[in-house]
Amino acid sequence: MRVGVEVGGTFTDLVAIDGENVVIKKVPSTPKNPDIGAFDALQAAAIDVSQVTDLAHGSTIATNAVLERKGARVAFVTTRGFRDVLLLQRHDRRQIYDLTYRKPRPVVQRSDCFEVTERIAGDGDVVTPLDEHEVVSTLIPTLRQGDYDAIAICLLGSYANPEHEVRLAALLRRYLQETLITCSSDVSREFREYERASTTTLAAYVQPVIDRYISRFSERLYGTGFKGRFSIMQSNGGRLPADGMRRNAITALFSGPAAGVIGAIRQAARSGFNNLITFDMGGTSTDVCLVVNGRPHLASETEIDGLPVRTPVLDIVTVGAGGGSIVWSDEGGMLRVGPHSAGANPGPACYALGGNQPTITDAHVIRGTIRPQAFLGGTMNIDFGAARSSYSGLCAQFGMTPEEIADSAIRLAHANIVRAIQLISTERGRDPRDYVLVPYGGAGPLAAAEVAEELGVDVILIPPHAGVLSAFGLLAADYMKMYGLTKHAVVHAGVGDLVREVFAELKARAETEFRNILNDEQFQYSFTVDMRFVGQAFEVPVDLTLKDLPRIDKNMLLRRFREEHQRIFFHGADEERPVEIVAFRFGIANAPHSVPLLTEPRSSRAYRNSAKLFERNQWQECTILSSAALLANESVMGPALIESYTSTTYLPAGWRGTTDDCSNLIMRRALSP
């Protein structure tokens, strides 16, 4: 048996697959102790952990540690003269018209930032040797007095030559044996000093938290008879064994959204679709991602709470438009949705757990697109009256009925999702009409058709068990590790030899480390070169393959770069401007494993009837059926609601839905818009 457990903001989801037997379970999350929710899911699903061979886990523990400022007590050590790099940051303003704007607050106080005498140049040459006497006589006693949980080391130029960081870390470990040491050359060996320093301090900040969480989870798991492999999902779309994650906690910041994308890719591929726009509409937010030829784009940098994180992550855009997103009016009297959410506690008003603010879930209950008797297969009580009452204030303010204001709130949430999808598609040179929309999460299939219509998308694929697809993605993900290396070089006649040399260096390092983590011998690789016109501030990633390596030369690299630059910026054919390489990125993964088959069970709860729902200011008759009642290759015309245990799919008028042999529901426009 293989089990995936994903902790979300509102629900903790479990998918267990044993041959053709699929077990699905959703239980309320426990934000203060996410592992409790995970074990609640195992217990609710009656899983005998002694029979589990593979348990994959994803949680928001690292994310919450940063957002709630509940990480470790960290000291920051850097080159003399650069103590304030975390406070100075970049000279930009995120809100240019906000007169009270303040820069994002780092996780390390200025009083916890320290300097050492040393200097390495950008080319790796030692300018000033590390003053080891100063470290032992001054820095270490100061750090010992501070009683720090972790120390982040980020020395100038260490991306080019980590010699001083390695030596400094060794000294600190000798005298401060109980303190965790994190070096920038291990976390992000790339240029741009502030981004590298921010990433290193965040890694040190969350590492003890993740370490304690994994220890606690593992102790309870193995204490109940578990003998299989326990792994943790990463932000890059791959997972690592739990012991390996203890040294790479920063890569787990966005594990939940990444797992959903991988699950969508694997399930859509069964039906022959590889160019996708995925969107995960869960309880607190919606995450969208673009997938080209079965591969999601990896961004080299992201941010959390305004702080940059220089580590490979799936290029996912998040908006505050989840089922639990609160509907409110701003100072100008405009209706707004999110980003604040009712979360798991107290949750939407209709959950009757103490919440009283209007949410998108309450709006769906009011207009009839969520039926109380069908929510979570009828296993959870939904209070229709509480949902209506939560909107009473907005109804009075706008002079609208609960149905009208609920319908408006839902359309506003969908507009926010459309805007997020445009950010990852049209604004990056991709036409969304060339892609298949893959919605999942508890609320995704309800929003899919309206979002598709706004984007001009004609095909939607709803995976089986869409509400727990992220948990399935945990099982579908490969084991993976990413590496980055900054190395400047103007593209010249001999550049092919340089690329092959760096590739061989990164490959050797990756294989050695990955064997120690995974004990595997069969690997697959990815290789990317970051390039730009000389004088540009930021670069364009150019993907290469193993087949490309023997024939890489100046002309190939320039052609690939200009094609990519043209696609993104609509210019780039200038053959006179010199081009340079600034960084190399390398990924290693285990050989592709068999992905378990996610199917929709044909239970005895097959039903068909009709009801009324409210949409666009009018009531209309709607077909109601369970997912179990829709046979393979059978079609249903909208308006229709297809209900399953984890989610409800809405087909408006003009759409046709057909379940294929892979249990995917394929929705197509039956009428021209």
DSSP string for 249-299:
GGGGTTHHHHHHHHHHHHHHHHTT--SEEEEEE-SS-EEEEEEETTEEPEE
By the 8 A CB rule, do 329 and 336 touch? Answer: yes
By the 8 A CB rule, do 471 and 15 touch? Answer: yes
pTM over 0.85: yes
- Boundary-marking domain end, from 145, 180, 212: 212
619 and 571 within one domain:
no
540 and 624 within one domain:
no
pLDDT of residue 602: 53
By the 8 A CB rule, do 279 and 287 touch? Answer: yes
pLDDT of residue 673: 40
pLDDT of residue 274: 95
- Boundary-marking domain end, from 562, 590, 618: 590
Q: Per residue in 110-137, pLDDT tens?
A: 999 999 999 999 889 999 999 999 999 9
pLDDT of residue 597: 76
pLDDT of residue 596: 74
Write the CA distances from 621 to 224, 444, 609, 610, integer angstroms: 51, 22, 11, 7
By the 8 A CB rule, do 414 and 251 touch? Answer: no
Helix (H) and strand (E) counts in the chain:
18, 35
Q: What angle do CA 29, 303, 216 make, to 5 degrees?
A: 40
Q: Per residue in 345-391, pLDDT tens?
A: 788 999 998 889 999 999 999 999 999 998 888 888 999 999 999 99
Instruction: Collect contacts of 609-613 with beta carbons under 8 A, ≥24 apart.
Output: 611/368, 611/371, 611/641, 612/368, 613/367, 613/368, 613/369, 613/639, 613/641
Q: What is the DSSP string of 300-357?
A: S-EEETTEEE-S-EE-EEEES-STTEEEEE-TTS-EEEEEEE-TTTT--GGG-SS--S
Q: What is the DSSP string of 170-183?
A: HHHHHH-TTSEEEE
pLDDT of residue 29: 85
200: left (phi over 0), alpha (psi -120 to 50) or beta: alpha
604 and 492 within one domain:
no
584 and 503 within one domain:
yes
- Residue 328 is assigned to a structural domain of this protein: no
- Residue 175 is assigned to a structural domain of this protein: yes
621 and 579 within one domain:
no
Q: Which element (helix H / strand E) includes 451?
A: helix 444-455
Instruction: Collect contacts of 557-562 with beta carbons under 8 A, ≥24 apart.
Output: 557/491, 557/495, 557/496, 557/499, 557/529, 557/531, 557/581, 558/491, 561/491, 561/531
190 and 103 within one domain:
yes
Q: Per residue in 494-508, pLDDT tens?
A: 899 999 999 999 999
- Residue 8 is assigned to a structural domain of this protein: no
571 and 604 within one domain:
no
- Residue 29 is assigned to a structural domain of this protein: no
CA 237 to chain centroid: 8
- Residue 224 is assigned to a structural domain of this protein: no
Q: Check the CA dihedral 581-587-592-596 and report its sign.
A: negative
611 and 585 within one domain:
no
73 and 194 within one domain:
yes
Q: Report the C-alpha gap between 540 and 320 in whole angstroms.
A: 29
Listed in sequence order, the residues at least 6 apart from 162 whose beta carbon sits closer than 8 Å to its beta carbon are 183, 185, 189
- Residue 184 is assigned to a structural domain of this protein: yes
650 and 549 within one domain:
no
Q: Report the C-alpha gap between 612 and 408 in whole angstroms.
A: 18
Read off the tokens for 53: 């061979």
Q: Report the C-alpha gap between 328 and 455 in whole angstroms.
A: 26
Residue-range definition of the domain harbouring residue 639: 598-669
Q: Report the C-alpha gap between 359 and 654 in whole angstroms.
A: 28
pLDDT of residue 604: 54
Q: Report the C-alpha gap between 422 and 264 in whole angstroms.
A: 19
Query: Which parts of the chain sit beneath pLDDT 70?
Result: 520-521, 572-574, 591-593, 600-604, 671-673
Provide the pairing of β-strand 459-462 with 126-128.
Answer: unpaired
- Residue 152 is assigned to a structural domain of this protein: yes
List the CATH number of the domain containing 537: 3.30.1490
- Residue 585 is assigned to a structural domain of this protein: yes
Read off the tokens for 287: 């995450």
Domain count, the chain: 3
DSSP type of residue 416? H
By the 8 A CB rule, do 470 and 289 touch? Answer: no
pLDDT of residue 356: 92
By the 8 A CB rule, do 545 and 556 touch? Answer: no
171 and 208 within one domain:
yes
- Boundary-marking domain end, from 145, 177, 212: 212
pLDDT of residue 672: 46
546 and 576 within one domain:
yes
pLDDT of residue 367: 94
